[in-house]
């Protein structure tokens, strides 16, 4: 596992809340991501996908307390790093597409200019070259008439258009790691394919690694080499895509796969995952946070947290009674 571009180890954090118990958002999250690889991070709403992304990028809100763990990107420790180290890493190594499309756009600067700024911050070049590259990037993410659209302010563009600008912006710095949180949700199917093609091309040409956060298991299976499954702030399974979909080990992964629409299968055959993601502010969470929803539960699961252990090549699962 050593030598990966991104190494996340035992990442554990909580959010403090005034007058209430803290939210235990992440516990013991560990995974690796190699250059050129695409890893999907999947799991129901509230499982900690976005918090993991924000923790890697050092962009958590002040209520978050990092309790343990390490995030190494290209050999640089980012967990608990200084603001200047984090800013440098974000400028030089990271591209981020947030779940909220307007979050990373500056409302009072024209979108073309924002991309040019990012290009110049990464590597200074003549203004005309930056302008041409910005137009090229806007065209690549499916914005038509990019020559005129580059003059628009974010508020003049639709949500889907802002999302595409954000993807162009994230890729403009030629990042070593792209973190994309639901990057294509809400885009039409052909734009979604174009954006994913663009990400795949960057992965191939430059060895860019991608952490793709998505609800869409079909997208994950078609576009990623590996899948990591999160449930209630735990990483429960991490496997090559074929192994995860062909022979999931964690009961939760199996439920998620069964809840995913598939070609040729009637929608009525879909089964929802039983129960709900537990409230992470509870003081009495079971050690395995899936235990209360699990039909394969054994007593030990409520007392001791299962650690990720190997079940096959590149395949790890955290379960006391795996499939």
Ligand X SMILES: Nc1ncnc2c1ncn2[C@@H]1O[C@H](COP(=O)(O)OP(=O)(O)OP(=O)(O)O)[C@@H](O)[C@H]1O
Please report, as ranges, the residues that interact with ligand X according to CB under 6 A.
15, 23, 25, 43, 45-51, 61, 63, 99, 280
Pick 214 or 311: Cβ nearer ligand X: 214
- The CB-of-154 to ligand X minimum distance in angstroms stands at 22
Binding flag, residue 47, Mg ion (CB under 5 A): no
Subset of residues 258 to 297 that bind Mg ion, contact rule: CB under 5 A: none
In 3D space, the residue among 250, 242, 248, 237 whose CA is nearest the CA of residue 322 turns out to be 250
In 3D space, the residue among 57, 49, 128 whose CA is nearest the CA of residue 93 turns out to be 57
Give which of Mg ion, ligand X, none residue 46 binds (C-beta under 5 to 8 Å, depending on kind): ligand X
Distance between CA atoms of 237 and 8, rounded to whole angstroms?
A: 14
- The CB-of-15 to ligand X minimum distance in angstroms stands at 3
Beta-strand relationship, 38-42 and 209-213: parallel
- The CB-of-215 to ligand X minimum distance in angstroms stands at 6
- The CB-of-139 to ligand X minimum distance in angstroms stands at 29
Pick 10 or 44: Cβ nearer ligand X: 44
Distance between CA atoms of 257 and 179, rounded to whole angstroms?
A: 23
Distance between CA atoms of 167 and 98, rounded to whole angstroms?
A: 9
Report angle CA 262, 267, 269 to the nearest 5 degrees.
Answer: 90
Pick 33 or 111: Cβ nearer ligand X: 33
Binding flag, residue 50, Mg ion (CB under 5 A): yes
- The CB-of-247 to Mg ion minimum distance in angstroms stands at 27
Nearest residue to the partner Mg ion, using Cβ: 50
Subset of residues 91 to 150 that bind Mg ion, contact rule: CB under 5 A: 99
Tokens of 282: 């509870």
Pick 36 or 281: Cβ nearer Mg ion: 281
3-state secondary structure of 92: helix
- The CB-of-99 to Mg ion minimum distance in angstroms stands at 5
Pick 31 or 320: Cβ nearer ligand X: 31
- The CB-of-217 to ligand X minimum distance in angstroms stands at 13
Binding flag, residue 163, Mg ion (CB under 5 A): no
Give which of Mg ion, ligand X, none residue 78 binds (C-beta under 5 to 8 Å, depending on kind): none
- The CB-of-213 to Mg ion minimum distance in angstroms stands at 7
Alpha helices in the chain, H assignment, sequence order: 49-57, 83-92, 111-122, 127-140, 146-149, 159-172, 189-206, 217-223, 241-246, 251-258, 300-303
Are the beta carbons of 271 and 228 closer than 8 angstroms?
no
Are the beta carbons of 177 and 94 closer than 8 angstroms?
yes
Residue 214: phi and psi, rounded to 5, are: -155, 150
Give which of ligand X, Mg ion, none residue 163 binds (C-beta under 5 to 8 Å, depending on kind): none
Give which of ligand X, Mg ion, none residue 260 binds (C-beta under 5 to 8 Å, depending on kind): none
In 3D space, the residue among 143, 243, 135, 256 whose CA is nearest the CA of residue 195 turns out to be 143
Tokens of 229: 């499954």
Pick 54 or 141: Cβ nearer ligand X: 54
Binding site for Mg ion (CB under 5 A): 50, 99
């Amino acid at each position: 596992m050593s030598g990966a571009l991104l190494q996340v180890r035992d990442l554990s954090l909580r959010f403090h809340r005034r007058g209430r118990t803290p939210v235990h958002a992440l516990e013991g999250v560990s995974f690796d991501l190699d250059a050129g690889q695409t890893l999907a991070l999947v799991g129901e709403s509230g499982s900690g996908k976005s918090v993991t992304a924000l923790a890697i990028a050092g962009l958590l809100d002040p209520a978050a307390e990092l309790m343990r763990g390490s995030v190494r990107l290209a050999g640089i420790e980012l967990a608990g790093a200084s603001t200047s180290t984090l800013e440098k890493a974000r400028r030089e190594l990271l591209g981020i597409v947030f779940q909220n499309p307007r979050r990373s756009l500056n409302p009072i600067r024209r979108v073309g200019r924002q991309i040019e700024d990012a290009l110049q911050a990464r590597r200074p070049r003549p203004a005309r070259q930056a302008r041409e590259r910005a137009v090229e990037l806007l065209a690549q993410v499916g914005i038509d008439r990019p020559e005129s659209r580059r003059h628009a302010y974010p508020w003049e563009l639709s949500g889907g258009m802002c999302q595409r600008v954000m993807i162009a912006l994230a890729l403009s710095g030629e990042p070593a790691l792209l973190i994309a949180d639901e990057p294509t949700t809400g885009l039409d199917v052909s734009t979604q394919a174009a954006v994913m093609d663009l990400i795949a091309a960057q992965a191939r040409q430059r060895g860019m690694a991608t952490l793709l956060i998505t609800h869409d298991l079909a997208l994950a299976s078609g576009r990623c080499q590996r899948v990591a499954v999160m449930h209630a702030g735990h990483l429960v399974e991490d496997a090559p895509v074929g192994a995860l979909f062909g022979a999931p080990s964690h009961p939760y992964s199996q439920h998620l796969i069964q809840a995913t629409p598939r070609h040729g299968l009637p929608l009525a055959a879909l089964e929802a995952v039983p129960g709900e993601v537990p409230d992470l502010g509870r003081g009495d969470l079971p050690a395995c946070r899936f235990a209360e929803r699990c039909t394969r539960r054994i007593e030990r699961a409520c007392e001791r947290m299962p650690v990720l252990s190997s079940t096959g090549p590149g395949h790890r699962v955290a379960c006391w009674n795996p499939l």
